Amino acid sequence: MTNPKILVVEDEELMRSILKELLEGEGYSVFSAASAEAALEIFAAEEIDITLTDIKMPGMDGLELITRIKAVDEDAIAIVMTAYSSVDSTIAALRSGVYDYVTKPFVNEDLLKTVRNAIRTKRLARENRALRRELDRKYGFSEIIGTSEALQKVFGLVEKVANTNAGILIQGESGTGKELIARAVHYYSSRAGRAFLAVNCGALPESLLESELFGHTKGSFTGATSDKKGLFRSADGGTLFLDEIGEMPQGLQVKLLRALQEQEVTPVGSSTPVRFDARIIAATNKNLEREVAENRFREDLFYRLNVIEINLPALRERREDIPLLAKHFVAKTAKSQNAVDKPIAQDALGALVGYSWPGNVRELENAIERAFILSSDQIDVASLPPKIAAEAENAFEMRDPEGIRPTLDEMERRYVLEVLRSVDDDKNLAATILGIDLSTLYRKMKKYEDL
């Protein structure tokens, strides 16, 4: 915070001048007011960092002034001054949201120390808000697109369990956004300002994964040229995300279970356990209960990890989110390519909604990026990956079995009914894909029934 702004509210002119001179001598920008009413006008016009106000003043008193200021900015910081020090006035001041309380006559250095502390508090509050905005942009729900009921249930569960230390197991197919949900849990928790670290348990051999998780001592194996803390200790105070936990070798599962039970790890090459404080979130695309039944995953570790279970729906289970996701990825690709946004043709949108998406959201993002690059003015079916276009063509054949081309009305009927089928008869979504309003769709359906 550069050159903080302080508002001095004091009805005695001499005291007001002394305070202004004292604070300006410390490099602060000082605004002064002889009444609470005048102070409110200044507060509305300037970005005031700290308000230093007398309590006893003609007209509106200092406590009411603070209440009015807090109504405008709930994070406003105020320090009160009074010659009428008492327990009652102190309690009233604190209840009004006062940061601190000084009495007249005061020692200059004591007042300046109080102001410096208040400035520090204000700076930290601003940094925390900036951090929250950045976290929300990166890791909150802003990157998890969808309004479907299935996804809203996931959001609700995340908000409910985030601020606990319970173990969380996120289950879902590849590409459904498990790490995004893990990051959202971290963001909405009290650990948001600390580290979020992730490791893919299936990407490293057992010996390297153990060292990565628990750390090692210098000389514990070839190549260990220095001590290493490991992810459990590096995530201290924050969150450790164990992705693809179902791929973890069974020998390491035993050590992981002990670490979770004891809240301590033993680095490779050491016999001394070390405490850690990290929230553990695990994720898998496997059915861990089946893995347990077939003796490929430890039952006791499964239950230790699976205190809270979050199941992410596959994209085909929330088709109503596909238009939103597709448009989001078009905008994202346009920005990355420094290009102009492109519309999605209705037949292309129908193909996207009707496709089965085995690769889920990740596959959709890749398909949109490809289509954006290959298309001209708009994204059409021809610019989509061949398997999506082929599935759409197979679902809607324009010729009769005898090879006779149908009439325009018959083509429209087939297309409308195919779109309805592809979205499980969700008429609102079908109308969106078809580019018509709901009443028009109902009229068309009534006409088809009469044919």
Domain check: are 383 and 244 in the same one? no
Angle, CA 377 vertex, CA 372 and CA 383 arms, to 5°: 45
Same domain, 106 and 218: no
Tokens of 408: 């325009």
Strands (E), 255-343: 264-265, 274-275, 279-284, 308-311
pLDDT band at 131 (very low <50, low <70, confident <90, very high): low
Report the amino acid identity of residue 124: L
The answer on 163 and 67 residing in a single domain is: no
The DSSP-derived string for 260-295 is: HHHTEE--BT----EE---EEEEEESS-HHHHHHTT
- DSSP letter at 198 equals E
pLDDT tens by residue, 301-331: 999 999 999 999 999 888 888 888 999 899 9
CATH at 420: 1.10.8.60
Supply the CATH number for residue 291's domain: 3.40.50.300
Q: Which two tokens stand for residue 252?
A: 């390491």
Q: Which two tokens stand for residue 60?
A: 């509106």
Decide the pairing of beta strands 196-200 and 29-33: unpaired
Alpha-carbon distance values, 230 to 98, 236, 265 (Å): 44, 10, 9
Q: Where among 132, 167, 192 does a domain terminate?
A: 132
Q: Could you write out the DSSP letters of every residue in 70-139?
A: HHH-TT-EEEEEESS--HHHHHHHHHTT-SEEEESS--HHHHHHHHHHHHHHHHHHHHHHHHHHHHHHHH
**Which residue bears the tokens 């995953």?**
297
**Are residues 83 and 169 both part of a single domain?**
no
Instruction: Pick the range with the lowest mean pLDDT from 8-12, 227-231, 234-238, 395-399.
Output: 395-399
Residues 358, 436 within the same domain: yes
Tens-digit pLDDT profile for residues 45-77: 888 999 999 888 888 988 889 888 888 787 789
Residue 238: pLDDT band with limits 50, 70, 90: very high
Q: How confident is the model at residue 399 (pLDDT cuts 50, 70, 90)?
A: very low
Q: Are residues 274 and 301 in the same domain?
A: yes
**Is residue 323 located within the same domain as residue 439?**
yes
Q: Which of 132, 152, 184 is the last residue of a domain?
A: 132
Q: Which residue has the tokens 């230390």?
A: 165
Torsion of the alpha carbons at 320, 326, 331 and 333, rounded to the nearest 10: 150
User: Could you tell me if 156 and 295 lie in one domain?
Assistant: yes
CATH of the domain at 14: 3.40.50.2300
**202 shares its domain with 83:** no
pLDDT at 25 over 60: yes
Q: Per residue in 279-295, pLDDT tens?
A: 999 999 999 999 999 99
What predicted TM-score, i.e. pTM, was given to this entire model? 0.61
Q: How many helices (H) and strands (E) does the chain have?
A: 19, 12
Q: Locate 153 and state its tokens.
A: 């249930």
357 with 436, same domain: the answer is: yes
pLDDT at 346 over 80: yes
CB 229 within 8 A of CB 274: no
Q: Identify the domain boundary among 132, 154, 185.
A: 132
**Does 170 share its domain with 289?**
yes
Query: Could you list the residue range(s) of the whole structural domain that residue 343 is in?
Result: 317-450
Residue 31: HSE in the Cβ half-sphere, 13 Å Cα cutoff = 21
Total domains in the chain come to: 3
Q: Residue 311's pLDDT is what?
A: 95
* Residue that the structure tokens 């808000």 belong to: 129
Amino acid at 207: S
List, in sequence order, every residue forming a beta bridge with 80; answer none if it has no partner.
53, 101
Same domain, 187 and 297: yes
Higher local confidence (pLDDT), 224 or 332: 332
Calpha distance 180→290 (Å, rounded):
25
Quickly list H helices, 25-81.
36-45, 62-72
